[in-house]
């Protein structure tokens, strides 16, 4: 229904189909407006959206070109672990394994101030699913000190309570250490999938977490960026 979206989709098609390969020049706004039977701002909107998606580059006077894609960008969806497990039709379980006040260690971003260190396990149908090793900055989130995380995981509490302005994620594969392995019911050295996330509120770190999944059967699905139909959502499964 939206004309600028139709135009966006049509131009996207010309790019992905190879009609306009990387580096190719795109007709100017006036010509496109004529072709599509609309006014220039409508075309401009479509082109502007293509720029945002990183598919074309525009320079005054020089015109618009299809960008040389040197890297592929994909969109990952990381749901709340409970949501994820329940969406798979499995029973969610939460176990607090340890909680202590401690200064942020050298390994953390939290720094030398007061911090809350929490270790907990999320399970699916009683089977270990994710080990969560979290630091919360008590100077940024003093409220956390009053929480016991016996029934509810710190992830859900934080999502509901504390805003953040920036987040960083690191994905990696690692060998399970002795303690991790025991918690997850694996052999020491077994492969695990690790998601590390740090969030900030302004300049202050809020929380830092290592989410550790058994490598066997854990997969992260991703979808493309800059495509028309955002119908297919990312998801995770454990076959």
- Binding residues for a copy of itself, per CB under 8 A? 16-18, 21, 49, 52, 69-80, 83, 159, 162-175, 189-194, 213, 215, 218-225, 227, 234
CA–CA separation, 158 and 206 (whole Å)? 9
Burial class of residue 2, CB neighbours in 10 A (0-12, 13-18, 19+): exposed
Closest distance between DNA and the C-beta of residue 162, in Å? 28
62 interacts with, out of DNA, a copy of itself, none, CB within 5 to 8 A per kind: DNA
CA–CA separation, 35 and 28 (whole Å)? 11
Please, what is the Cα angle at 161 between 120 and 167, to 5 degrees? 75
174 interacts with, out of DNA, a copy of itself, none, CB within 5 to 8 A per kind: a copy of itself
106 interacts with, out of DNA, a copy of itself, none, CB within 5 to 8 A per kind: none
Nearest to 178 by CA among 190, 168, 167, 170: 190
Does 228 bind DNA (CB under 7 A)? Our answer is no
51 interacts with, out of DNA, a copy of itself, none, CB within 5 to 8 A per kind: DNA
CA–CA separation, 148 and 50 (whole Å)? 47
Please give the C-alpha separations between residue 214 and each of 29, 122, 138, 217, in angstroms, as whole numbers. 52, 12, 30, 7
For residues 24 and 99, which CB has a smaller minimum distance to a copy of itself in the complex? 24
166 interacts with, out of a copy of itself, DNA, none, CB within 5 to 8 A per kind: a copy of itself
Please, what is the Cα angle at 73 between 43 and 175, to 5 degrees? 165
Does 177 bind DNA (CB under 7 A)? Our answer is no
> Going residue by residue from 16 to 45, which x/- string records binding to DNA, judged by CB under 7 A?
----------x-xxx------xxxxxx-xx
Does 67 bind DNA (CB under 7 A)? Our answer is no
CA–CA separation, 199 and 208 (whole Å)? 7
For residues 33 and 158, which CB has a smaller minimum distance to DNA in the complex? 33
CA–CA separation, 153 and 216 (whole Å)? 24
Does 4 bind DNA (CB under 7 A)? Our answer is yes
Closest distance between a copy of itself and the C-beta of residue 75, in Å? 6
For residues 1 and 173, which CB has a smaller minimum distance to DNA in the complex? 1
Helix, coil or strand: residue 180 = helix
Closest distance between a copy of itself and the C-beta of residue 189, in Å? 7
Please work out the total of residues on this chain that contact DNA, with binding judged by CB under 7 A.
28
Please give the C-alpha separations between residue 61 and each of 58, 67, 120, in angstroms, as whole numbers. 9, 17, 58
Write out the residues near DNA by the rule CB under 7 A: 1-6, 26, 28-30, 37-42, 44-45, 47-48, 51, 58-64
């Amino acid at each position: 229904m939206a004309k600028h979206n139709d135009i966006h989709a049509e131009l996207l098609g010309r790019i992905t189909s190879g009609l306009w390969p990387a580096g190719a020049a795109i007709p100017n706004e006036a010509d496109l407006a004529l072709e599509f039977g609309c006014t220039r701002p409508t075309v401009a909107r479509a082109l502007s959206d293509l720029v945002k998606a990183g598919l074309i580059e525009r320079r005054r006077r020089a015109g618009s070109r299809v960008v040389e894609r040197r890297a592929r960008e994909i969109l990952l969806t990381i749901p709340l672990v409970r949501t994820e497990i329940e969406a798979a039709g499995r029973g969610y379980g939460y176990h607090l394994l340890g909680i202590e006040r401690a200064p942020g260690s050298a390994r953390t971003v939290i720094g030398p101030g007061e911090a809350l260190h929490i270790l907990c396990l999320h399970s699916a149908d009683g089977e270990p699913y994710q080990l969560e090793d979290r630091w919360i900055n008590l100077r940024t989130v003093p409220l956390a000190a009053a929480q016991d995380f016996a029934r509810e995981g710190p992830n859900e509490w934080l999502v509901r309570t504390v805003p953040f302005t920036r987040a960083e994620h690191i994905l990696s594969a690692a060998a399970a250490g002795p303690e991790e392995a025991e918690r997850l019911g694996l052999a020491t050295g077994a492969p695990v999938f690790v998601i590390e996330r740090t969030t900030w509120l302004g300049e202050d770190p809020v929380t830092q977490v290592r989410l550790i999944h058994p490598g066997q059967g854990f997969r992260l699905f991703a979808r493309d960026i800059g495509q028309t139909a955002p119908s297919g959502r990312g998801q995770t499964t454990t076959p």
